Amino acid sequence: MLLTVHGEPVWAEDMPDATSPATTLATFAGGCFWCIEAPFEGVAGVRSVTSGYTGGTTVNPSYEEVSAGRTGHAEAVQIVYDPTQISYEDLLEVFWRNINPTQAEGQFADHGSQYRTAIFYHTEAQRQAAEASKASLERMKVFDRPIVTAILPAEPFYPAEEYHQDYAKKNALRYTLYKEGSGRAGFIASTWSSVGRICPLRPPRRTTSPERQ
């Protein structure tokens, strides 16, 4: 998959974290990337979380271009994770529980297609897991409106500017005020706290021990 780092196109397979056979990628759009990046950081098995832009037409867009809705991109996060420590289903569980999947063209106080929700799958197995999780959530009837979160093939991902990375850690008070003021924190507390697990429990992938010679 083609990525861009510091304005230069890079294939995911050539990135240091992605070259390890024990790591793979997951990409989610859930509105403001500050509020999607933070829940994944510190999760066991997650190696890195990068805020950025995907799903648009402009190469290496800026925050100003994306936030103005001129490029077609969505704010998103790309996760490098170790599937021997955490399953993709566990990542999906974190994602669903931090969004309002019934809100089209925005999330909470942020409106526009750049804040849409989507799961960008990198493999057929990820697509199937994402579709199954969405169907499970629909069967649970948590919401009285349709779930509009899209499930789409991964597209080029462009890391956002450095000041957006690890925003919750670098600007804890502003992040908390924003998350509460936007309505996201209240929605998560009132909606998801009583909802059981969405995705089936799936143990992390086991590594195969080499045969003895």
Query: Which residues are the active-site residues?
Result: 32
DSSP state of 114: G
Distance in Å from the first CA to the final CA of the chain? 36
Residue partners of 186: CB distance under 8 A and separation at least 6 = 180
Contact 100, 73 (CB under 8 A): no
Q: Strands, DSSP E only, in the chain?
A: 2-5, 8-11, 24-30, 46-54, 74-81, 106-107, 110-111, 117-121, 150-153, 157-159
Q: How far apart are CA 152 and CA 28, in angstroms?
A: 10
Name the pairing type of β-strands 8-11 and 2-5.
antiparallel
